[in-house]
């Protein structure tokens, strides 16, 4: 299992903790996950890395598949923003259009092959929301890799798919529970609850998440983000030491029975993208976000100084 550092936060070079986690990620050999809807993060990555370092970074990048007209421009702008020659895995999301990836006669499939032939992408996978995973059996054969949200408190994959398909080479996103903050695991009995409480006492949340997903052999890559140096140290330590959790099958069982329906409807996501994608890519929004985080950071520093000097 390989880790990809998610550039989903607004990272800035004037925040030392952001610089630290980026450098730690690069030195550990982690890949990255990026989307043009993350203002400033791509510019931050490019500033924090040399051309030589970027040439060895494996990138997963997320683009919509419901607007073929912008597919090539999204890929080109992503490569330019990150300073990369090639995207390792193009993650495509959308409504039922996403299943055109499996139709060799579709316009989407042909355009993706063009991008591969041009050397701009190495591979492409569909991102499937919970309801979309239900359709997998009807549309494609077994052994179909895909991208999904997943954490110990719930894999966003239909249980029937988990139980019936021979899954392989898939990618889990938001593994530290970013989309599941208000979700609680489901327990069938008191023994499971007791086991859950025991592992929470013994391991950090970071370790539980990584050990849990490592147990699913069909998950090849995981994506998580952090702006905390301590958190990144835990991630790096895990991949150096590869600890194993006791009674891993029970933790897997809790994750599967806690499968949750999707946190956001696909149609709502498409609507938001169509309304906001041009604005999110504008230099004006980037500069405003940069100014906001700079002021916020400095205000926090001033508040600490005021407290230390008795003025707070």
* Per-residue three-class SS string for 207-249: HHHHHHHHCCCCEEEEEECCCCHHHHHHHHHHHHHCCCCCCHH
- pLDDT, tens only, 103-127: 899 999 999 999 999 999 999 999 9
- The confidence score (pLDDT) of residue 63 equals 92
- The confidence score (pLDDT) of residue 302 equals 45
Residue that is written with structure tokens 């492409």 in the block = 124
Question: Does 32 reside within a domain?
Answer: yes
Containing 121, the helix (H) or strand (E) segment is strand 121-126
Closest CA to 43 of 296, 301, 282, 308: 282
- The confidence score (pLDDT) of residue 306 equals 47
- The confidence score (pLDDT) of residue 237 equals 93
Question: Does 290 reside within a domain?
Answer: no
Which structural domain, as residue segments, surrounds residue 140?
Answer: 2-281
Q: Is pTM, for the whole model, over 0.85? A: no
Question: Does 286 reside within a domain?
Answer: no
Per DSSP bridges, beta strands 147-151 and 154-155 are antiparallel
Question: Does 292 reside within a domain?
Answer: no
- The confidence score (pLDDT) of residue 256 equals 79
- The confidence score (pLDDT) of residue 59 equals 97
- The confidence score (pLDDT) of residue 309 equals 44
- The confidence score (pLDDT) of residue 166 equals 73
Question: Does 311 reside within a domain?
Answer: no
- Domain of residue 72, CATH code: 3.20.20.100
Tell me the C-alpha distance between 80 and 49, whole Å.
Answer: 14
Question: Does 306 reside within a domain?
Answer: no
- The confidence score (pLDDT) of residue 151 equals 84
Question: Does 288 reside within a domain?
Answer: no
- pLDDT, tens only, 219-261: 999 999 988 899 999 999 999 888 888 888 888 888 877 665 5
Phi, psi of 93 (to 5 degrees): -130, 160
Question: Does 114 reside within a domain?
Answer: yes
Low-confidence ranges of the chain (pLDDT < 50): 262-264, 301-302, 304-306, 308-309, 311-312
Phi, psi of 6 (to 5 degrees): -80, 125
Cα 217 versus chain centre, distance:
18
Domain count, the chain: 1
């Amino acid at each position: 299992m390989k880790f990809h550092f998610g550039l989903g936060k607004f990272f800035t070079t004037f925040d030392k903790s952001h610089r630290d986690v980026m450098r730690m990620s690069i030195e550990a050999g982690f890949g990255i996950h990026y989307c043009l809807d993350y203002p400033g993060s791509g510019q931050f990555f490019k500033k924090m890395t040399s051309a030589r370092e970027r040439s060895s970074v494996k990138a997963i990048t997320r683009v919509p598949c419901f607007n073929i007209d912008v597919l090539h421009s999204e890929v080109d702008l992503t490569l330019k923003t990150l300073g990369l020659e090639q995207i390792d895995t193009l993650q495509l999301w959308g409504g039922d259009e996403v299943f055109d990836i499996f139709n060799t006669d579709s316009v989407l499939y042909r355009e993706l092959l063009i991008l591969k032939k041009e050397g701009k992408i190495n591979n492409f996978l569909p991102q499937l929301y919970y309801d979309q995973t239900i359709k997998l059996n009807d549309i494609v054969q077994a052994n179909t890799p895909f991208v999904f949200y997943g954490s110990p408190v719930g894999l966003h994959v239909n249980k029937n798919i988990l139980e019936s398909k021979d899954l392989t080479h898939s990618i889990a996103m938001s593994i530290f529970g970013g989309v599941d903050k208000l979700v609680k695991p489901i327990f069938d009995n008191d023994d499971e609850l007791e086991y859950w409480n025991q592992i929470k006492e013994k391991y950090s949340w970071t370790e539980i998440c990584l050990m849990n997903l490592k147990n699913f052999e069909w998950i090849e890559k995981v994506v998580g983000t952090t702006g905390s140096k301590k958190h990144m140290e835990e991630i790096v330590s895990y991949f150096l030491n590869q600890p194993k959790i006791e009674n891993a099958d029970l933790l897997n069982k809790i994750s599967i029975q806690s499968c949750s329906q999707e946190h956001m409807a696909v149609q709502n996501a498409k609507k938001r993208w169509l309304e906001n994608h041009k604005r999110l890519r504008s230099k004006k929004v980037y500069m405003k976000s940069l100014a906001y985080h700079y002021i916020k950071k400095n205000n926090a520093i001033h508040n600490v100084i005021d407290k230390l000097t008795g003025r707070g």
